[in-house]
Amino acid sequence: MQKRVENIFLKARNKRGEILVENVIFIVLNIIFISILALFVVKQSSGAVILEQTSAKNIALVLDSAKPVTIISIDMSKQKSVSDSNKIPFGDIVKINGNVVSVKLSDRTGYEYSFFNDVDVSFHPETDSNYEFTGNYIFIINDKKLKK
């Protein structure tokens, strides 16, 4: 009888130990998941990623709505300060290949967005009399038919 009672207590103790271990593993996995999620949110909300996305989309929307033979100046002073802090030359942050606008403000990231307007776009950063960048980009929209 005493051995039977001891066996019952041992089984109960082992089950309690398994439940505790399972709960600890569950809590640890949840903490890992939440910390990974928090790191992702912090990284996505950093200045470079958001500015790249909004800049590329805004430039593409402006180019889509532009008529041929138009000159557009876009203030990109915030992007200039971010690119300067990441040691990216301001003249290299915007690229246009065909109908795709690329904005790159850091070494690791970059964002591309396409526009549908069938135009030829030339662009350059605006400089002052001392050949220093002012923070504006100039976009010149030409008709592709005129270029041929």
Per-residue pLDDT of the chain (148 residues; tens, 9 = 90+): 666 656 665 565 555 556 788 889 999 999 999 999 998 887 766 678 888 999 999 999 999 999 888 999 999 999 988 888 888 899 999 999 989 999 999 887 789 999 998 889 999 999 888 888 888 999 999 887 655 5
Q: Is 10 exposed, middle or buried (0-12, 13-18, 19+ CB in 10 A)?
A: exposed
- Say whether pTM exceeds 0.75: no
pLDDT of residue 62: 93
Domain ranges of the chain: 1-45, 47-147
CB 59 within 8 A of CB 103: yes
- Length, in residues, of the chain: 148
